Amino acid sequence: MQDFLFLGPENAINTIFLNDNDMHLSHTTQHKDPDKSLKNNKQYYEDCRLCPRNCGINRVVGRENSEVGFCGETDRLRVAYMGPHFGEEPPLTGDNGSGTVFFTGCSLRCSFCQNHQISHRGVGVYMGLEELFLRVEEMIRNNHVHNINFVTPDHFFPHVFRLVSHLRKKGFDLPMVYNLSGYQSKEILKIADDYSDIYLPDFKYSDPSLAARLSACRDYPQVALKAISEMVRQKGFLDISSTNSVLAKKGVLVRHLILPGNVDNSINALTTLFTEFGSGLPVSLMSQYCPVLDHDGSDLNRFVSEDEFDLVYSHVRDLGFECLFVQFPERDQSSRTESSLFLPDFTQGKPFK
């Protein structure tokens, strides 16, 4: 097996791309105009089942029975940050960055969330659809980002679908990236199919009790595996080649974040991915975990140790994935705390300084 070092732009994650050959399928993105089958936004929000929590509540502001669901948001779009981001894998970041849109709220709300300011604490500003359209168009024109990257957008999927439809009608043909927790229903993914090009799902947990404890979703492993299967069925594997000059246009890349004190969860998660999808599935192994909230004496109050990382890294190499991105931990832990690339401050105008 050959090793390719992706140098990437300054501040890009330290990544090695391992690839036996250029076996990846080449995909051609064909955009349809499926808007006729898309319901009115309010219809999605008034009996909200946009994620597998299936709250079934009415999120529409002003209605008599209006409520806020597990995700913490009404039907009024809130955005925490919009701009080029250089912390994604090189085929997504390129030279100009990935055009991220971070939404306020989250349907998973993990207790260790690195973006807790927006997922738990409601940092963000309200924005109408028209303003969303304009701001994203501005980002594309001013920053020449390589794609539009929706970060945990589940609870605002209807707004996202409208935005994608608008951009395509205006002739913007850059890839639409869905940066997801992995906790999605097949039903919503079938709708997203027409509005997406790339899926970046996490596969966080193989252990249902850990999923229950940290994200209040014991069914995460089975739901996420079904979701990733559906994503792969729609888009195939990420269409990257072995050179760092190629940007991804379509496909699926699965991410896994190592959690301190939970090596077995990681090892089983990676084995499960290999068993379910085979050696061709592109995988990104991440070590950026940083303790941001108090976990009452648990291992989650610390960083991932070098020994823990080495165990998981050695396992993922042994499995034989042909396309593997690896984010190696910083040896100096103080630089991990200081890295705003992975620990952004969304109360600042530029969270990723």
Which residues of the chain form contacts with ligand SF4 (CB under 6 A)? 48-51, 53-55, 57, 59, 69-71, 107, 154-155
Q: How far is the CB of 46 from ligand SF4 (least distance, A)?
A: 11
Q: State which residue, 187 or 345, has the beta carbon closest to ligand SF4.
A: 187
Q: How far is the CB of 102 from ligand SF4 (least distance, A)?
A: 16
Rounded CA gap, 32 and 34, in Å? 6
Residue 199's region, left for phi above 0, alpha for psi from -120 to 50, else beta, is beta
DSSP characters over 176-203: EEEEE-S---HHHHHHHGGG-SEEEEB-
Q: State which residue, 54 or 314, has the beta carbon closest to ligand SF4.
A: 54
User: Which position's Cβ is nearest ligand SF4?
Assistant: 69
Q: How far is the CB of 62 from ligand SF4 (least distance, A)?
A: 17
Rounded CA gap, 115 and 267, in Å? 25
Q: How far is the CB of 105 from ligand SF4 (least distance, A)?
A: 8
Q: Radius of gyration over alpha carbons of the chain, in Å?
A: 19
**CB-facing half-sphere around the CA of 322: CA atoms within 13 A:** 15
| Segment (H or E) for 214 | helix 208-215
Q: State which residue, 15 or 185, has the beta carbon closest to ligand SF4.
A: 185
Q: State which residue, 55 or 224, has the beta carbon closest to ligand SF4.
A: 55
Q: State which residue, 60 or 139, has the beta carbon closest to ligand SF4.
A: 60
Q: How far is the CB of 77 from ligand SF4 (least distance, A)?
A: 13
Whether the CB-CB separation of 151 and 106 falls below 8 Å is answered with no
